[in-house]
Amino acid sequence: MNRLKAITGGQPLRSDDWSFIQDATADALSALVVGLKRSTGTCIITGLGVTFGDGTVDVGEGVVFINDELFYVPATRFDYHDETWSVYLTPNITTGESRTFRDTLTHDVYEYRQYAAGYGASIPSGSIPFPGADILTLITSEVVSHVPAPPSQLLKYATVTYPVSSLTAPQSIIPAPGTGKAIKVISLSAWISPLSAIAAGTQWLNIAYYYDDGSASIGTFPHSFVVSAAAKMSDMVPAPADISVNQAVQVQLSSGAAPTSGSASIKFHCFYVIITL
């Protein structure tokens, strides 16, 4: 790369010399990046991973190569909308370190050059699509222009264990998700571990959204599972008629009657998604 020669004897330095140093560094970095990616254009050097949370989109911090220059991009978080919205990158250039010059005029002498991630239904003028180019690796590259929608929000997992004796009242498997959200159960399995067989009459286990004045069933585990004398695993395929908003998914013995004898615990394994309305 080009270099400024440092010579003793009172070398006269001018502002053009600092520009020469910066340009020489930029030219060398540009040649390195273009050589690695085997083409010109914008690319991600590192970071800027996109992850989905519960109704959020997170963009990790990273470094991008735009217009033959390296830029830092801070991490940020957005509320998720839908697959038509795009993440984009916008220049964020500020100045600082004010100094008074020999002519008595004051100037900021530092320039902080970054790009900031944005998220919207359209890309503002002067911004570029995210990442808008190649992801730099030594082996391959990939073009991405939009942030894809997460698969049915995000699949979540919950596990909880209850003694059968506590299931005379509804017990929570998945807590209420909050205002404007609903739980959709994808699959539910249960493992019963009896010390002695439960005498629960003809009762079965009901999985439901329970209210003060009723319930909306998601599915059941049969009587034969509840009274099993040996450890047993059972699967239930949920089939709710209605999905309740901001209601917990709970389990209860079908008639709420206490077992007359026996001792067992049941461990529930649930896969589900939270739907944001």
Residues 99-135: pLDDT tens digits?
A: 898 898 898 878 888 888 888 888 888 887 775 444 5
**Where do you find CATH 2.60.120 in the chain?**
155-276
Is the pLDDT at 273 greater than 90? The verdict is no
Please give the pLDDT value at position 195: 92
Question: Does residue 81 carry a pLDDT above 80?
Answer: no
Look up the pTM and report it.
0.48
Whether pLDDT at 37 is above 70 = no
The most confident of the ranges 50-54, 124-128, 172-176, 239-243 is 172-176
pLDDT at 4: 66
Reported as a pLDDT band with limits 50, 70 and 90, residue 10 is confident
Cβ–Cβ < 8 Å for 231, 194? yes
Within 8 A by CB and 6+ apart from 117, the residues are 48, 59, 73, 74, 76, 87, 88, 89, 90, 130
- The per-residue pLDDT of the chain, averaged, comes to 81
**AA letter at 208:** A
Look at residues 198, 195, 190, 150 and name the one whose alpha carbon lies nearest to residue 171.
Answer: 190
Residue 151 pLDDT > 70, yes or no? no
% of the chain with per-residue pLDDT over 70: 83
pLDDT digits (tens, 9 = 90+) for 182-241: 888 888 999 999 999 999 999 999 999 988 888 889 999 999 999 999 999 999 888 877
Report yes or no: 192 and 228 within 8 Å, Cβ to Cβ: yes
pLDDT of residue 165: 93
Q: What does CATH list as the number for 155-276?
A: 2.60.120
